[in-house]
Amino acid sequence: MKIGILGAGSWALALSVLLESKKHDVTLWEHDQKSIDLILEHREHPIKLPGVHVPESVVISNKMADAIVGAELVVIAVPAQFVRMTMKAIVAAIVPEDISAVTGWVIVAKGIENGTNALLTEVITQEVPQISMAQIGVLSGPSHAEEVGRKIPTTVVAASENIELASIMQEAFTTETFRVYTNTDIVGVELAGSVKNVIALAAGACDGLGFGDNTKGALLTRGMVEMARLGRVMGANEHTFSGLAGFGDLITTCFSKHSRNRKMGELLASGLSLEDALKRMTMVAEGVTTAKSVYDLSVKLDIDMPITTEIYRVIYEGKNAKQAVMDLMTRESKPERR
């Protein structure tokens, strides 16, 4: 099977290694020639995914057509806020017939677009009329690139409204160390993967403030309540949030040393400004931009999401992280289930 991957970040590189191990014909598209040259020279990315060898058979190109034309699956691995730009570039570079010929467009980015508050599935269908929801899938779950690239056992979810596409994704990605389940709740899987990054920022803040396991256990549990509230209003299946795309990914992201979002929260809690914290990061922490979109959605849809609200205030209004925690702890008392 020919599979194209749009982007050459850590997750794209890890997936290229995984897919090549199944003898798929893999092409990575990367717009930055310097990044291409770096990967070709070392057959790894020494900053984004050090120590993970990218096989010689994986083609890396700055020509979008190389990754898309003739591909059965195209994996969208650019950061969430660049998906619309990427889809516009596809429309400009690829003829409609070649776009329609792709069986599945697989989103592996996690986030909600700023400004429009659109899910990435919505961004794709808005920009590319040749792509229907039946051609879109989402691959999500507890899956840090650093571990997948080293073949550490990992389990994820392939979600699509089209169960046939979900099954194709399952077959394409499954290996002895990468197990894939199918799910038809694509909205729930998208939301879970996006909102958990916001909660992970809060988890990092807890670490930065020196709080303990009690705090983080409470944070994850109440964070899951917020995810489910948003999902319920947006038409998701609440059971999705207790699965791999929800609790599984939330736990991993909030505790892992590999988590960019947890690290970003820790930096913000140390007193750094958002600008200075971003300078310390070598890769994108999707939760920073997603926090704004999730907060905007909570206001628009009138959903009580207190953790999201406080994280938004820390990031965008300069609120002290410790004060944010105290304000959460001293909110009006209420029943757990409401």
- HSE-up of residue 184 (Cα within 13 Å, Cβ side): 5
Angle between helices 83-93 and 120-127 (to 10 degrees): 30
Phi and psi dihedrals of 281, rounded to 5? -90, 135
In DSSP terms, 104 is beta-bridged to 73
Question: Tokens representing 321?
Answer: 């992280």
Residue 322 annotated as catalytic: no
CB 240 within 8 A of CB 183: yes
H/E element holding 266? helix 260-269
In the set 110, 196, 216, 263, the catalytic residue is 196
Distance CA 49, CA 44 (A): 7
Residue 37 exposed, middle or buried by CB count within 10 Å (0-12, 13-18, 19+): exposed
CB 16 within 8 A of CB 39: no
SS3 319: coil
Burial code (b: 16+ CB inside 10 Å, e: under 16) for 320-333 equals ebbebbeebeeeee
Closest by CA position to 220, among listed 188, 195, 257: 195
* DSSP-assigned letter for residue 257: T
> In the structure, how many helices (H) and strands (E) does the chain have?
16, 8
In DSSP terms, 181 is beta-bridged to 157
Maximum Cα–Cα distance for the chain, whole Å? 59
Residues with catalytic function:
196
